[in-house]
A and B are shown apart, each in its own frame.
Chain A
Amino acid sequence: METPNYDNEFDAVVVGAGLAGSAAALTMADRDLDVLVLERGQSPGTKNVFGGVLYTPTIRELVDVDDAPLERYVAEKRYGVLTETDETAVTMRPGEWLEEPHNDSYTVLRGSFDEWFAEQAVDAGATLLTETTVTDLVREGGEDGRVVGVETDRPDGTIRAPVVVVAEGANSLVSEGAGLRDHHDREDVAVAAKEVLKFDRDTIEERFRLNGDQGVAYNYFGEGAVGDAVGGGFIYTNKRTVSVGVAYSIEDAATRRQNPQDALDAFKQHPAVAPLVRGGRTVEYSAHAIPEGGIDAVPDLVSDGALLAGDAAGLVLNNGVHLEGTNMAVESGYQAGRAVAAAVDGDGRVDDRVLATYPEELADSFVVRNLQHYDFFQELAVEDREFLFSELPRALADAETEYFAVDREPKDSHADAAKDRLLDAAGGYVGAAKRAWKYRKLLS
């Protein structure tokens, strides 16, 4: 395939047609910019992996989500705490989630969704070039100069443009190579392995108590989910498939010699999980890295004519309860696109002060505010890992077994023993109060 001469033909180049990249491209195209999106996959989505749930509050503002290839809306959430043999879970099915817009939470498959989303950007006027890998950024006048384009792996692959939006994803080779961000510490990155299992639709709907387009999002924690690593397991229902996977710290995978595939096998065989996933045929096996370093690991979002968005900027929230990234990717792409559209004048000139409004806008948005609010969590999870992932799940299982024990003892003796078991794990009343204080921000 010949490459048309795209050099200096565009107002902006976007690296990657994932959620952040397509949101940025769509936003700029809507504002009449000439935008080129470069995607290394054969089509958008073919290199992308997530859990996953797509959270749609921002995307709904940009496109007609009803036309999108959604799988199911999230009608039920479940948080399961697992020992190796027990589950203690909270499930919720608020009536409101059955009504549109379904709390803006949908399962999707990225192969079809990302392709559709990129098409929306193309329909708005953006140009999409697939099978094109950006290998580096071009700088004017040496290493510290301004970013003025990209190098690609096409013949004569240099493409110059006034602004580059880098939305290359978690394995951020380009931004690292170009000095826009540091190499991640492995404590700040999780490895995820996932299978997509094929079932017939009835089996999924009966097994998970679903009707119509209803779906579930199940998250699991504790040593029964991913051994003694910091992380968890997940199950999400699609129309005719179920996504099941694990995600946990790369530091733990390395130092505890816990291979992701073994962790996935063990999670699927857990007594509370196996009945949900048995009998499915593996139609895809995938893996991905997740940047979970929180706000401290987010690099400068704008420098020298380049903007970072989505996973490449480390915009992922994991506080144990909220596991979000898709919404942050779209919001950051949208905000980056807005700033570029306002900063570029159409004659190749860029107003850097206007470009600098991107991080400011993002700092005022839920993206950065949530990261800041829950900043304490990752560190606490590592520090308290023994309690959170091992002692607490066991204490819960022991206490519930005790509390609900059926025998010829009076119930008050079981209730006392159950309470003692919980207090013991928490470190007595003083310990429990201290922990409640440490974790107060999870609920505030």
Chain B
Amino acid sequence: MSTTPDSQPLPDVPDVENASTEDRLYADKYTDHEESHLGVKVAGFCVEKCETDDCVSVCPADVWRVEGDDEVPTIAYENCLECGSCRFACPHNNVAWEYPERGAGVSYKHG
């Protein structure tokens, strides 16, 4: 029978030992680029209008971060997997997104 989420884990389920974000991104190949290809269009919108930090919720690579008293997210653009989810997610359409120049950024070998 189905059990509730807060019940004990089932026996005999192997631990898959999920990699950390750092280890996952370390497996990927990146070409450095000096300037961020991501940004916020109007910092004031993040401060005044945004209470949900949807960019943080949807990012699969921990690029968008709001820590402590941050009113505007910090952006670890070097981690970016270039999916564009932050751009779609922001309800204020406040994400500035450009392709990294000349193919810089992530390079997928497998895809």
* Distance between A196 CB and nearest chain B CB, rounded to angstroms: 5
Q: Which residues of A contact B (CB under 8 A)?
A: 39-42, 45-50, 83-86, 109-111, 114, 130-133, 135, 153-154, 170-171, 173, 183-184, 186, 189, 191-193, 195-196, 241, 243, 250, 253-255, 257-261, 264-265, 268-269, 271, 274-275, 277-278, 282-289, 394, 397-398, 401
Query: In the complex the two chains form, is B103's CB within 8 Å of A261's CB?
Result: no
A114 to B101 Cα, complex, angstroms: 21
A40-B103, A398-B1 known; A259-B18 Cβ under 8 A: no
* Distance between B81 CB and nearest chain A CB, rounded to angstroms: 4
7 more contacts with CB within 8 A, not counting A85-B2, A86-B2, are: A49-B83, A193-B60, A255-B54, A275-B13, A283-B109, A284-B28, A398-B2
A84-B5, A170-B84 known; A268-B28 Cβ under 8 A: no
Query: In the complex the two chains form, is B59's CB within 8 Å of A259's CB?
Result: yes
Among residues of A, the one whose C-beta sits closest to the C-beta of B25 is A285
A132 contacts across to B, CB distance below 8 A: 102-103
Query: In the complex the two chains form, is B102's CB within 8 Å of A153's CB?
Result: yes
> B61 an interface residue at 8 Å Cβ cutoff?
yes
Query: In the complex the two chains form, is A173's CB within 8 Å of B99's CB?
Result: yes
* Residues B1-47 near A (CB distance < 8 A): 1-3, 5, 10, 13-19, 21, 23-25, 27-28, 31
Which residue of the partner chain, among A50, A250, A257, contacts B111 with CB atoms under 8 Å? A50
Query: In the complex the two chains form, is A131's CB within 8 Å of B102's CB?
Result: yes
Query: In the complex the two chains form, is A184's CB within 8 Å of B88's CB?
Result: yes
Query: In the complex the two chains form, is A287's CB within 8 Å of B83's CB?
Result: yes
* Residues B64-87 near A (CB distance < 8 A): 81-85, 87
Among residues of B, the one whose C-beta sits closest to the C-beta of A176 is B87
A203 to B21 Cα, complex, angstroms: 26
A195 contacts across to B, CB distance below 8 A: 19, 24
A288 contacts across to B, CB distance below 8 A: 81, 83
Which residue of the partner chain, among B16, B25, B101, B110, contacts A283 with CB atoms under 8 Å? B110
Query: In the complex the two chains form, is B57's CB within 8 Å of A49's CB?
Result: no
A186 contacts across to B, CB distance below 8 A: 88-89, 91
A183 to B88 Cα, complex, angstroms: 8
Query: In the complex the two chains form, is B2's CB within 8 Å of A283's CB?
Result: no
* Distance between A281 CB and nearest chain B CB, rounded to angstroms: 8
B102 contacts across to A, CB distance below 8 A: 40, 131-133, 153-154
Query: In the complex the two chains form, is B93's CB within 8 Å of A183's CB?
Result: yes
Pairs across A and B, CB under 8 Å, 28 listed: A39-B103, A46-B103, A46-B109, A47-B103, A84-B2, A84-B3, A84-B5, A130-B103, A131-B102, A183-B88, A186-B88, A241-B110, A254-B52, A254-B54, A254-B89, A259-B59, A260-B58, A264-B18, A264-B60, A265-B18, A271-B13, A278-B14, A285-B19, A285-B25, A286-B28, A286-B111, A287-B83, A398-B2
A84-B5, A133-B99 known; A287-B24 Cβ under 8 A: no
Query: In the complex the two chains form, is A259's CB within 8 Å of B57's CB?
Result: yes
Query: In the complex the two chains form, is A282's CB within 8 Å of B16's CB?
Result: no
Among residues of B, the one whose C-beta sits closest to the C-beta of A133 is B99
* Distance between B20 CB and nearest chain A CB, rounded to angstroms: 10
Q: Which residues of B contact A (CB under 8 A)?
A: 1-3, 5, 10, 13-19, 21, 23-25, 27-28, 31, 52, 54, 57-62, 81-85, 87-89, 91, 93, 97-99, 101-103, 106-111
Kindly name the residue among B15, B58, B99 whose own CB sees the greatest number of chain A CB atoms within 10 A.
Answer: B58
Query: In the complex the two chains form, is A285's CB within 8 Å of B107's CB?
Result: no
Query: In the complex the two chains form, is B57's CB within 8 Å of A257's CB?
Result: yes
Query: In the complex the two chains form, is A284's CB within 8 Å of B110's CB?
Result: yes
A154 to B93 Cα, complex, angstroms: 28
A42-B103, A85-B2 known; A253-B85 Cβ under 8 A: yes
Complex A-B, nearest 7 residue pairs according to Cβ-Cβ distance, in ascending order: A110-B111, A171-B84, A285-B24, A254-B54, A260-B60, A287-B83, A131-B103
A269 to B14 Cα, complex, angstroms: 8
Query: In the complex the two chains form, is A397's CB within 8 Å of B1's CB?
Result: yes
Which residue of the partner chain, among B54, B83, B98, B101, contacts A173 with CB atoms under 8 Å? B98
A259 to B65 Cα, complex, angstroms: 13
Among residues of A, the one whose C-beta sits closest to the C-beta of B56 is A259
B61 contacts across to A, CB distance below 8 A: 261, 285, 287
Among residues of A, the one whose C-beta sits closest to the C-beta of B105 is A47
Which residue of the partner chain, among B15, B60, B108, contacts A261 with CB atoms under 8 Å? B60
* Distance between B96 CB and nearest chain A CB, rounded to angstroms: 11
A40 to B52 Cα, complex, angstroms: 33
A287 to B111 Cα, complex, angstroms: 9
Query: In the complex the two chains form, is B81's CB within 8 Å of A253's CB?
Result: no
Query: In the complex the two chains form, is A47's CB within 8 Å of B82's CB?
Result: yes
Which residue of the partner chain, among A42, A83, A84, contacts B107 with CB atoms under 8 Å? A42
Query: In the complex the two chains form, is A289's CB within 8 Å of B88's CB?
Result: yes
* Distance between A128 CB and nearest chain B CB, rounded to angstroms: 13
Kindly name the residue among B2, B19, B59, B111 whose own CB sees the greatest number of chain A CB atoms within 10 A.
Answer: B111
Query: In the complex the two chains form, is B16's CB within 8 Å of A289's CB?
Result: no
* Distance between A407 CB and nearest chain B CB, rounded to angstroms: 14
Among residues of B, the one whose C-beta sits closest to the C-beta of A265 is B18
A180 to B99 Cα, complex, angstroms: 18
Query: In the complex the two chains form, is A191's CB within 8 Å of B85's CB?
Result: yes
A80 to B108 Cα, complex, angstroms: 29
